[in-house]
Structure 1
């Protein structure tokens, strides 16, 4: 049996203003990452890296990591954290998979914006673009689903976290249509946070939450290129 992977030895992270702070969804995705047992030198892509915490963990587990984010401040933050923790991580400013070239990967990690928002597509600037994802929460999730098959090598795996509010079954179906073997591999319930509370009436009016909801269900979507 393989040894349990060491927990991160460098918990301290720099987080510049406007960069998404690691939260419950980050922890759930990190647990899923650790279950994959990354082989040494596996090529890992971290989409929407934010602070770079998942990229750091993938590198610590032996992966060769490319981390991308559309926000310049996130790119700077991830580079600083990689430097401070002595990890070789390539960090690029990129809009999802489309700007990273013709490469393919053994593992793709993604914690995308997934919170349903009253705005049509979510903002293009500011901290809220880390979570706002249009009325159904799928403005970015669907793009990841569509791009993932081409980005994964044979045997490669996509791990993506998002909320039950944006229809995990739709994510599984969309990935499956792309030829991947997809499923919900983990679930967790976390207390409703300030973003959801700030638009609770709108979410209730759309039937996405009820008056007595105190927790949000998060899921890990795992999809493999067979």
Structure 2
């Protein structure tokens, strides 16, 4: 399991409605570093937000494609790439839809994964960047199902999410999709404002105990 500190995140613009880099961003960036991408590596970032993780990969010389369903996020990632003078292809679309038929060496994602009382994730507003249905798996389950088709044989998926969403569920779904999956890194962090406001609801649903801490995990899965 990775023990090196996460590399410092380069400053990026994060306007209202676009997820600002936080602990999960840093954890995913550390996981990308451990994969040692470089020139010739084809990387896909699903749900890129500000583009922070995609830009980190691009700085290694990797050829990076980023996708987000939010036009605000797409434009933000493009602007951050221009400011950093990094080459980054950013498409607007739903997960892997804009890259259908293409395959990559490395697929990374920090999708919305926060459990929310609403059955359907919001289609607009700031919460779109984190709310993911009552179990937090509205996007996670789709990524587990779609990732194999986007990966070359031997390619790797790096997926970050909260253990509140069910780490074993992610591992099981990826295994069912024919991938070798494991938790490669984890970190405990205090609840932020969103989870703090939902703590009683999370406990009532059996998703959390009484502790004001959550565990973030990196699930690493290799395409057989």
Question: Shorter-chain-normalised TM-score: which range?
Answer: over 0.9
Where does 1:2-81 land on structure 2 (aligned, <5 Å)? 11-81=10-80
Contact kept, 8 Å, 1:47 with 1:96, in 2: the verdict is yes
Per-residue deviation at 1:99? 2.7
**1:86 aligned residue:** 85
Deviations 1:92-142 (A, max 9, x none): 101101232210000001001111111112111111011111111111000
SS in 2 for 1:120: coil
SS in 1 for 2:96: helix
Q: TM-score scaled to structure 2, two decimals?
A: 0.94
User: What is the total number of aligned residue pairs between the two structures?
Assistant: 219
RMSD (CA atoms): 1.4
Where does 1:156-171 land on structure 2 (aligned, <5 Å)? 156-171=155-170
Per-residue deviation at 1:209? 1.8
Deviations 1:144-193 (A, max 9, x none): 00000111001110000001111111101101111111111111001100
**1:95 aligned residue:** 94
- Runs of 5+ in structure 1 lacking a partner? none
- Runs of 5+ in structure 2 lacking a partner? none
Contact kept, 8 Å, 2:67 with 2:98, in 1: the verdict is no
**2:115 aligned residue:** 116
**1:142 aligned residue:** 141
Per-residue deviation at 1:39? 3.3
Q: Distance in 1 between matches of 2:164 and 2:105?
A: 29
Deviations 1:19-46 (A, max 9, x none): 1000000011110000001131211000
Contact kept, 8 Å, 1:94 with 1:100, in 2: the verdict is no
Q: TM-score scaled to structure 1, two decimals?
A: 0.94
Q: Distance in 2 between matches of 1:210 and 1:177?
A: 29
